[in-house]
Amino acid sequence: MNDALRIFACNSNRALAGEICEHLGMRLSPVDISRFSNDNLRVQILDNVRERDVFVVQSFTEPVSEHIMELLITLDALRSASARRVTAVIPYYSYARSDKKDAPRISITGRLIADMLATAGANRVLTMDLHADQVHGFFSVPVDHLTAIPTIAEHFRQHYDLSRMVAVATDAGGAKRVGRFSERLGIPMAIIDKRRVSDTDVKQGRVVGEVAGLDAVIFEDEISTGGTLLATIDTLRAAGARSIHAGAVHAVLCGPAIERLRNAPIESIVVTDTVHVPPAKRLDKITQLTVAPLFAAAIERIHSGESVGALFG
């Protein structure tokens, strides 16, 4: 497998790519990403990929446009170098939030980026916990859609008393995701009535379900500015929750998120490493779990032609 398989990483999350390679017992293949004097990106593949099965790891994190361009140019370079098959491994696909036309004269950018990946040379995509499941259908190439719900659920199973715990969806749109999480743990769930005022501000109403006297676990696909999380904490405290925790797959933590979470009355926040969290953003209350074993298993199964879905059977 090591001879036929190559794994490369662009600059957004090289730590995760390195862990994936460790689990597979192989090295991360070298790639040189630099700039010309006019600020154009330059990518050179420094390993033989002719007729190899190639995977490129890159999350769409800040600076997002920079990281997308790195991935597109890398995919094109690998295609030009005669790679047999190229898989774009995108642990965090941020443009999955741009999945619908909810205002006049805007782009459904999730679909645009999917088209760009295929045009650049991606033969398939491997990603995790898309914000909207329908984004899967935007791609014209095969997509393997992993989930970190079992990983996060197992952490709560091992460290908390589930007999007094309830899973909370921050709005109706997240109910299906939270339902899978609560079913995994065998705990009840509640839903909060939410209205989004702007990109960073939300307005919440009442809680649908019982949370009084219980340990509430807010479950989301991502934490970006933390605005929704803070509003949910206030709503749950007013509803009489005994303690409040949070679980999220993608720790984007942009803008005022860290200051908001540092001062928030929340006991713990559990996230994964789909997004690289720098030391300045690592609060004591944040626990980061690794999804490297899951991505490594998926890559091995894709390479050998086995079922990826069987990982969650």
Active site residues: 194
Rounded distance between C-alpha atoms, residue 72 and residue 67, angstroms: 9
Q: Are 11 and 57 in contact (CB under 8 A)?
A: no
CA 169, 171, 172, 177 torsion: positive or negative?
A: negative
Reading the block at residue 274, the tokens are 């789909």
